[in-house]
Chains A and B, each alone.
Chain A
Amino acid sequence: MARNDLQGTLDLLVLKTLSQMGELHGYGIVLHIQRASDELLSVEEGSLYPALHRMEMSGWIRSEWKVTDTNRKAKFYRLTPAGQKELQSAEKSFEQLVKGIRAILRYA
C-alpha cells in the first residue's frame, strides 16, 4: 500500500526538484515547480517552509547560507544520501498512487 497524502506529494516535489537542480533556496524551489509544471502546480510558501524544516530535521536535506547570483543572502538546500533514498521510495509510491487512481477512474 502506498503512503499517500498531500504532504507526501509536496515532499516528492521538493526532493525531485533538489535532485534535479542540485542546490536551491526556498524561493527557487517555488519558482522551479511552477515553471517545470507549466504553471499547473503552485507551491504555497505557508506549506513549503514547514515541509523544508521537517525534511531537514529528518535528515533528508541539508541547508547552508550562501549568496545568490543577485548578491542576496539566502538559505540553500541540497539532498543528502538519505534524501536520495527517500526520493526513490516516494517516487515509487507516487507511481502506485497514480496507477491506483487511474484504475478507479477507468472502472467508473
Chain B
Amino acid sequence: MSIFRRVVNTFSRSKLHQEIDAEIQSHVEMRMADSIAAGMSPEEARRDALIRFGNRVVMRERITAADAATVLDAFGRDLRYAARQLRRSPAFTATALITLIVGIGANVVVFSVLNALVLRPLDLPQPTGLYNVVHQQPAYDNHSYPDYVDFRSKNSTFTDMAAYRIDMAGLSRTDAAYKCWYYKVSGNYFDMLGVQPEHGRLFHASDEHGPNSAPYIVLSHDFWRRHFDSDPRIVDATVDINKHPFTVVGVAPAGFHGPDLFFWPDFWMPIVDSPDPEDTNFLSNRGSHNLWILGKLNPGVTPQQATDNLTAIAQELARQNPADDGLSARLVKPGLMGDMFGDPARSFLAGVMLLAFLVLLAACANLASLFAARTADRSRELAIRLAIGSSRWNVVRQLLSEAVLLSVLGGALGTFFSTILLNGLTRWQPFPEFPIHVTVSPDPKVFLVALLLSIASGVLCGLVPMRQIWATDSAQVMKSGGGAAIVLRRFTLRDLLLGIQITLCTLLVTASLVALRGMQRSLHARLGFHPQGVILAETDLHMGGHSGASIMPVRKRMLEEVGRIPGVTSVGIIDETPLGTGGSTSPVYREGTSDFRMSNSAFGARFFSISPGYLQAAGTRLLGGRDFTWHDDAKAPNVAIVNETFAQRMAGNTSALGLRFALGEKYSYEIVGVVENGKYESLTETPWPAMFFPLEQNPDSDTSLVVRSPLPTAEIVPELRRTLAQIDPSLPFVFHSWPDALAFVLFPARVATAALGVMGLLAAMLAVTGVFGMAMYVVSKRMKELGIRVALGAQAVQLMRSALSRPLILLLSGSSAGLLLGVMASQLLAQIVYQATPRDPLLFAAVLTTMAVLGLVAICIPAQRALRIDPAGLLREE
C-alpha cells in the first residue's frame, strides 16, 4: 500500500506540494483565528502562526523526504545536470563516446554471432532434445545407412532418429534448369522435427519401400518463391532431377531449412531414392559413412544415458560386422553440420569473445583514466560543492550519473552500428555457388547484454574517481587553486590504468598480427599443387544422363578437345580437386592381409582418381616412378601413385615403387609412382597419406577438368565453355580459377584473420587515444612550469624529457607486458588461426614497431604543444 502511494506521489509531485501548502495554510489560519480571539492583533497573530513553520520550502522538503519521489526526482536532476556537463565539454564527450562505441559495439557483434551459432535454440518447431549422433573421434561425424537403421531400431533412449545428407543435382523443367543443393532425408525426418507443409504434403516413413521407391521431392519455401513464383499448382507436378522424373509432393513452410544453421537447401528428397539409380548402393553398405544422424531424446533421458545406450549398440554391431570395427557414438549439439564445424567454431568464437571482452576492458581503462583526469580538473568545482554543504555521496552520485549517462548513450550508439553491420552480415552470401546464409541478426538477449555491459562499464569507470572525491580537502584545494600539480609527481591511478590499457592493446595487436602472419604463411604453404594459372571446369556426368561405360569416352573427348584450345598448356581430369568440398578416406592394408577389418589396416589414406596428364596440369611434382597412361585401363593390372607420406609409411626409407597394397579383398594395387605431399582437406592438416588411381580403374561421375593456361581467366573461360558445350550441351559446368575455388578452404582462416585484424585495429585506436589523452593532459597541466623552464633557458630535449617521459615509460612497459602475455597466450591463438606462433622474431619486431609508431603518433601533438610554449605570454596570463 505505502509503496504504491510513494510511487503515485512520484507522478503527482506538484499536486502533493499544493496539498501540503493548503494544509499548512489551513493550519495557519486556524491558529490565527484562535490567537485573534485570544486578543492578539491580526498582524501579530499571522507572524506568530507563520514563525512556527519556519521556511515553507524547507518544511515541504522535510515532509516529503521519505517519498520515493524525492529520490527519483534527485536522480532526474542528476541526469539533467550530467547532460549539461557533458554538453559543455564536447571533446571529452566525443572521446568517451567513441571509446564506448568501439568497446561495446565489438562485444555486441561478437556476442550476436555467438548467440546465433551456439546459444540460440535451433529454429525448429520442437528444438529441445535434438542431438547429432557422431563418432567418438573428433570431426568424424558420418555414419552408414545400415548403422543408422540399427541405431534407430535397437536404442531405447530416443523417441526417433532421422538420417540426412547433403547432395547436389540439376533440377530442370521444360523451360529452365537449376543447379541445386538439397537434403536427402529419411522418411520420418519431417515428422520427427514436427514440420507441417505450406502446400501439398511432406513425405513420411510410410512412403519408403526400399531403394528408388519414392521419387518425391519437397521444395523449400524460398526455392519455390524464387523459381516457381509461389505457384501452389506446382504440387503434384513432375520435374526432372539429373534427367530422372520426380514428383513435387509439397512445399515446406517458410523459414524451415533443416537442422543446419548455415545451409538453406533447395529441396528435400527421400534418402531411399536418388536421381542416379546406382547411387543407392550405400543403403546396404556398412562401410559408406556418408550421412548424419539426428536423434530426439525421450523425455527425461540425459545425453549421457543415451550415449551409453548407443555405445553398447555400437559395440554389439562391431562384434557382428567387420565393417563396423571400432564403431562408436557421441552426442553433439546440432546446428553446425554435426561436429565438423561445431567444435572449431565454438572454440574460435569463445576466443574472439574473449578478445572482444579485452577490447571492452581496454576501453573501460581508457574511459576510467579520462574520468579520473576530468575529476582532477574539476577538483575546484567539487571542492566548492563540498564546502557549501553538498554531501560526498551527492558528488559521487553526480559523477556516477555522468558516467552511466555516457555509457548508456555510447552503448546505444554502439549497438545501433553493430546492428547495421550484423544485418549486412545476415544478407551476405559468402559463396555464390553454395546456399549458405548466416543469420546473425541481434535478438532481445543481445540488446539486454549490450545494456548490461553499458551500465557495468559506466559504473566501473564512474567509481574510479571516487577515491579522489573522498580524499578531497576542500579548504586545501581552494587555497592551492588547481592542486593537481602535486599529484603528478607520484605514480597515480591514472598511470596504472593507462599501463593496463596499453598492455591489453598490445596483446590484441599481437593477436591480430599473429593472425595476419599465419594467414600469410598458409597462403604460401606448399599445397602439393600450383593453383595459379589454372582454370577448373567442374561437373557431374550424371547430370548429363551419362553413367557406367558411357562416362570414359566423354571424358577422353573433353581432354582431347580442350587440349587443342590455343593457349592451353596442359589439361587433366581429377574426380574431386584436393582442398575442394569433397574427398574420401579409405583404410589401406599391407600386402598379404587376409582379415580386412578396420583395426588391421596399416593407415587411412585419402584417395583421388586422376587422368594421365593431371599431375602435370596441376603442377604436382612426380618424385619417382611414372605418371599414368591411357593403357592403365580397366583391363590392365591395378596401379596407384602415392604421396611421400604414404610411401614412407609403407616402405620406410626404402623405395616404395613396385610395392603392393590392398584396399579390400579383391582390390590390390601396385605403386608405380610417388608424388610430393600436399594438403587435401584443410590447410591445417598434418601431412597425410594420399593415393591416386587411374580414372578407368576407379570409375566415378564427378569430373573436374584442370586446365593450365597462361591466358587470363576472362579469355580462356568462354573458349572452354564453347568447346565443352559442343561435346554435350546439357552438361552444367561450373567454371572458376583454382585460387578462387580455394576460397572455401581459406574461408575460416580469412574470417579469423578479419576478426582478429579488426580487434587489433580497435585496440590500436584505443591505445592512441589513451596515450594521446594522457600526454595532452600532462602537458596542459604543466604549461606554467614548462613555460618557466623555457624562460630559464631549457632546451627542447630537456623539455620533452620532463613532459613526455612518463607516457613513454608507460608505453614501453605496457607494450612489453602485452607482448609477454601474447606469447603466453600462444596456445589460445593457435586454436584460432593456422600456424599462429608468436615466437617469431619478425612478429616481435612488428608488434614493437607498431606500438612505437602508435606512441609517436599519439605523442606528436602534445609534444608540439609543449615545444610551442610561449613563456612570456603564459607568465603574463597568470
Which of chain B's residues have a CB closer than 8 A to the CB of A26? 23, 27
Q: What B residues does A46 contact at CB under 8 A? A: 52-54, 59, 62
Closest residue to B65 on the A side, CB-wise?
A50
A74 lies within 8 A of B2 (CB):
no
Within 8 A of A (CB), among B9-59: 19-20, 22-24, 26-27, 29-31, 33, 52-54, 59
Interface residues of A in 8-30 (CB under 8 A from B): 25-27
**Any A CB within 8 A of the CB of B66:** yes
B696 at the interface (CB under 8 A from A): no
Is there contact, CB below 8 Å, between A49 and B63?
Answer: yes
Contact A57 B62 (CB under 8 A): no
Instruction: From known contacts A27-B31, A73-B26, infer whether A50 and B67 are also in contact, taking CB-CB under 8 Å.
Output: no
Q: Are A27 and B53 in contact (CB under 8 A)?
A: no
A53 B63 Cβ-Cβ under 8 A? yes
Q: Is the CB of A45 within 8 A of B62?
A: no
Q: How far is the CB of A56 from chain B (nearest CB, A)?
A: 8
Query: In the complex, how many angstroms separate the beta carbon of A44 from the nearest chain B beta carbon?
Result: 7
CB pair B6 A57 closer than 8 Å: yes
Chain B CB count within 10 A is highest, among A57, A72, A74, for A57
Q: Name the one of B27, B31, B54, B66 contacting A53, with C-beta atoms under 8 angstroms.
A: B66
Which residues of A lie under 8 Å from residue B52 when comparing CB positions? 44-46
- Asked whether any CB of chain A lies closer than 8 Å to the CB of B64, the reply is yes
Given contacts A45-B52, A57-B6, contact A50 B62 (CB under 8 A): yes
Report if A49-B59 is in contact (Cβ < 8 Å); known contacts: A27-B27, A57-B66.
Answer: yes
Contact B64 A70 (CB under 8 A): no
Closest chain-B Cβ to A76's Cβ sits at a distance in Å of: 10
CB-CB under 8 A for A57 and B24, given A46-B59, A50-B65: no
Given contacts A44-B52, A46-B62, whether A27 and B30 have CB atoms under 8 Å apart is yes
A72-B26 contact, Cβ under 8 Å, with A45-B53, A46-B59, A49-B20: yes
B1 within 8 A of A: yes
Cα distance A70–B6 in the bound complex, in angstroms: 33
Which residues does chain A contribute within 8 Å of B53, judged by CB atoms?
45-46
B15 to chain A, nearest CB (A): 13
Complex Cα distance, B67 from A44, in Å, reads 22
B740 CB to nearest chain A CB (Å)? 74
| Contact present for A49 and B23 (CB under 8 Å) | yes
Q: Is the CB of A59 within 8 A of B1?
A: yes
Q: Check: B635 CB closer than 8 A to any chain A CB.
A: no
Which residue of B is nearest A31, CB measured? B34
CB-defined contacts of A45 to chain B, threshold 8 Å: 27, 52-53
B residues in contact with A68, CB < 8 Å: 30
Contacts of A57 in B (CB 8 A): 2, 5-6, 66-67
Which residue on chain A has the smallest CB distance to residue B64? Answer: A53
What residues on A are CB-neighbors of B5 within 8 Å?
56-57
A54 proximal to B (CB < 8 A)? yes
- Which chain B residue shows the least CB distance to A47? B62
Q: Are B20 and A74 in contact (CB under 8 A)?
A: no
Bound-state Cα–Cα, A46 to B24, Å:
10
B182 to chain A, nearest CB (A): 69
**C-alpha spacing A46/B55, complex, angstroms:** 10
Tell me the complex Cα distance, A74–B33, Å: 14
Chain B residues whose CB sits within 8 angstroms of the CB of A75 once the complex forms: 19, 22-23, 26
- Kindly supply a per-residue 1/0 record for chain B positions 684-701, scoring 1 wherever the CB is within 8 Å of any chain A CB and 0 otherwise: 000000000000000000
Q: How far is the CA of A46 from the CA of B59 in the complex (A)?
A: 7
Residues 51 to 97 of chain A near chain B (Cβ within 8 Å): 53-54, 56-59, 68, 70, 72-75
Residue of B2, B19, B22, B24 touching A59 (CB-CB under 8 A): B2
Pair A50/B63 contact, Cβ less than 8 Å: yes
Residue of A nearest to B24 (CB): A49
Q: Are B26 and A25 in contact, with the CB atoms below 8 A?
A: yes
Interface core residue of B20, B27, B29, B53 (most chain A CB under 10 Å): B27
Question: For residue A56, which residue of chain B has the nearest CB?
Answer: B5
Complex-state Cα separation, A44 to B62, whole angstroms: 14
CA of A87 to CA of B24, assembled, Å: 25
Contacts of B66 in A (CB 8 A): 53-54, 57
Q: Quick one: which of A25, A53, A70, A73 contacts B33, CB cutoff 8 A?
A: A70
CB of B385, distance to nearest CB on chain A (Å): 26
Bound-complex Cα distance A49 to B66 (A): 12
Q: For A27, A44, A54, which residue has the most chain B Cβ atoms within 10 angstroms?
A: A27
- The smallest C-beta distance from B59 to any residue of chain A, in angstroms, reads 7
A residues bordering B, Cβ < 8 Å? 25-27, 44-46, 49-50, 53-54, 56-59, 68, 70, 72-75
User: Can you list 6 residue pairs at the A/B interface with Cβ under 8 Å?
Assistant: A49-B59, A50-B63, A53-B64, A57-B2, A70-B30, A70-B33
